[in-house]
Amino acid sequence: MVKITVDIPEEIVKFIEKKISEGLFSSKEEFIMHAVRLLAELYGIGGISILEKLITVFTEKKKPLRPSELSEEEAYILSLFRESTFLYPEEIWARVLEDSMIRGIKPLKKEIVFNTIEKLVEKGYLQKLKKDGETIIKILKRVE
């Protein structure tokens, strides 16, 4: 072992003495050895940095889960409602076009969009309403 002499602030020394009096450590040397070992493990003495693992775990983005009964297209159509409760079918189609322009991707075909709306109505996620002879789509269940 190597002996190292270090100046420690009085506040930390009082804290160490408190932990010794609580019976967690038998001496200041034991506390400091424990603290040094813990810091070494935190920064990766064993080849694995606990700090990096913690950062990775807490910064990972978790993909929201959609119900398994929904296809990718169905979940996408539901996401287009955003905060809206009611949309006209053509409004949904316009949002598909807008979203595809923003993301720089090819939009879904119009028939696919309207067929997907029908499937969502059958599954109970959307409801078709008639108002003044026009069809309005109401979202019943939102998916995160």
Does pLDDT of 66 surpass 60? no
Name the residue among 65, 4, 68, 79 with its Cα closest to residue 35.
4
Residue 118's pLDDT is 95
Residue 88, CA atoms < 13 Å, CB-side half-sphere: 7
Contacts (Cβ under 8 Å, ≥6 apart) of 103: none
pLDDT digits (tens, 9 = 90+) for 32-63: 999 998 888 888 887 778 878 878 777 776 66
Domain limits of the chain?
A: 10-59, 72-139
Architecture of domain 72-139: Orthogonal Bundle (1.10)
Q: What is the pLDDT of residue 10?
A: 95
Residue type, 10: E
The model's pTM is: 0.53
Report d(CA 119, CA 121) in Å as an integer: 5
Answer yes or no: are the C-beta atoms of 88 and 80 closer than 8 Å: no
